[in-house]
Amino acid sequence: MVVLGQFLEVLIGGLLAGVLYSLVALGFVLIFKASGVFNFAQGAMVLLAGLALVRSLDFMVARGIPTWAAIVLALLFAAVVMAITAALIQKLVLGPLVNQSDLSLFMATIGITFVLEGAGQMIFGSDVYPLSLFPTDAWFILDGLFEGGLLVNKLDVWGGLIAGALVAVLAIFFQRTKTGRALRAVADDHAAAESVGIPITWIWFVVWLVAGLVALTAATVWGTKLGVQFSIVFLALKALPVLIIGGFTSVPGAIVGGLIVGAGEKIAEVYLGQQIGGGIEYWFAYVLALAVLLVRPQGLFGERIIERI
């Protein structure tokens, strides 16, 4: 029973940690579904959203505004910042690159990454800023079945609830709304979508705006977990195996991929780390991604692309 309890604790902790990876991966999926391009700038967008949120929150709290009101206003301010960012990206970068190759768009997102990193830290600061929007203390569950109970982090539980809500909203957006269907059409063929009257510039603004709001959501959780700091940018690297496993075009796949990565790396670290050395957690996700690529290159939930020759 003790061994089972330890395994369940590791498994639950890994699954909940994987959901936090999925919050970042969702932003990548949105951009890829609309443009067919991997958005290298998603990590920088999380950093920018987090900086705008925490700095405006600290500013208002320092001036005596009630905490609940300051949080609401700070979230609105950060959302406006991400909307302005989306508009500038569409106007100055994506607009001139309409109907260009995927490689050109990918290189553009690399440039956007460095601009957002520099601008965000220049405007809002480059220190580590603590953020406390969710509880971070421990929570013991199933103490009646296992001695001492199973340890669960409340922040991870909040992250899971938020990710679940995001998936539901995004699924409805893509499947049930006119704009969502237009996004999918643009992803299939830019020129064909434009020829039937779909405004590509507006569609790209919308998808970057939605990706920015997803980045803000991820920043609220990751900022509470790590503090808002430059290292958040590297969440993009952590989300890459999640995308490969789940599929670059699938919103539910981003969640499932995150669960697989989170659970896999935690279990490997605890049960294999002693045999082959520590640090497995940092690279095991890429081993899983490689295994999926060998069996199903488009990912578990990715769309199989069939081209006529």
Token couple for 222? 């990751």
Query: How far is the C-alpha of 244 from the C-alpha of 227, rounded, in Å?
Result: 27
Mean confidence (pLDDT) of the chain: 83
Alpha-carbon Rg for the chain, nearest whole angstrom, is 20
- CA dihedral 86→91→93→97, nearest 10 degrees, is 120
Span 207-236, mean pLDDT? Answer: 87
pLDDT of residue 190: 67
pLDDT digits (tens, 9 = 90+) for 97-151: 776 777 888 888 889 999 999 999 899 988 889 988 888 787 777 666 766 667 7
Q: Rounded distance, CA 143 to CA 127, Å?
A: 40
pLDDT tens for 142-195 read 666 766 667 788 888 888 888 888 888 887 887 788 887 787 777 666 667 777
Q: What is the distance between the alpha carbons of residues 271 and 138, in angstroms, rounded to a whole number? A: 23
What does the pLDDT look like over 278-306, one tens digit per residue?
678 778 888 899 999 998 888 888 766 55
| Other Cβ atoms within 10 Å of 69 Cβ, number | 11
pLDDT computed for residue 277 by the predictor: 67
Poorest-pLDDT segment among 110-114, 183-187, 227-231, 239-243: 183-187
Asked if residue 89 has pLDDT above 60, the reply is yes
What are the beta bridge partners of residue 151? Answer: 140
pTM confidence score? 0.86
Structure confidence at residue 269 (pLDDT) = 83
Percentage of residues in the chain having pLDDT higher than 70: 91
